[in-house]
Amino acid sequence: MLRKGDIFVIWKLDRLARSLKDLVEIVQDLHDREIGFKSLTESIDTTSSGGRLVFHLFGALAEFEHDLIRERTIAGLNAARARGRKGGRKPAMSEADVKKAAAMLLDPSITKKEVAEHFGVARTTLNASLGGLEKR
């Protein structure tokens, strides 16, 4: 419903877009349609050339911060792997339990549901664990 000459006002930049790229595209689209943009928290007003400069500087700093966080996260994960740590959830069934379950299933009178109940897991978890048996 925005028209030429209107000013689009938001509380905070992160309320408008998920990424810097999206934010810049939205603000550029508003500019192309001759619609002003104001962010109250960051005191950005793109109706002036100074406001546009501040917007682009904030955007560049936000992207830089995002890249730093990503780099630190990757470095932390690599350091944890080097120390022998592995991320993710622990397997619901141990390797020994999977072998026992496979042996139990050799008996045609025992169902997968019964085996899953015996080990306290869902049937889908049992199937996934048995599927990974040859990978271990």
Any idea which fold 7-82 has? Rossmann fold (3.40.50)
Q: How far apart are CA 43 and CA 49, in angstroms?
A: 14
Q: What is the DSSP letter of 13?
A: G
Q: Which residues pair with 44 in a beta bridge?
A: 39
What pTM does this model have?
Answer: 0.49
Domain ranges of the chain: 7-82, 95-135
Tokens in use for 75?
């470095």
Q: Is 93 within 8 Å of 87 (Cβ atoms)?
A: no
| pLDDT, one tens digit for every residue, the chain (136 residues) | 899 999 999 998 888 887 777 888 888 899 899 999 998 988 888 888 888 888 788 778 878 888 999 999 999 999 999 999 888 888 889 999 999 999 999 999 999 999 999 999 999 999 999 986 654 4
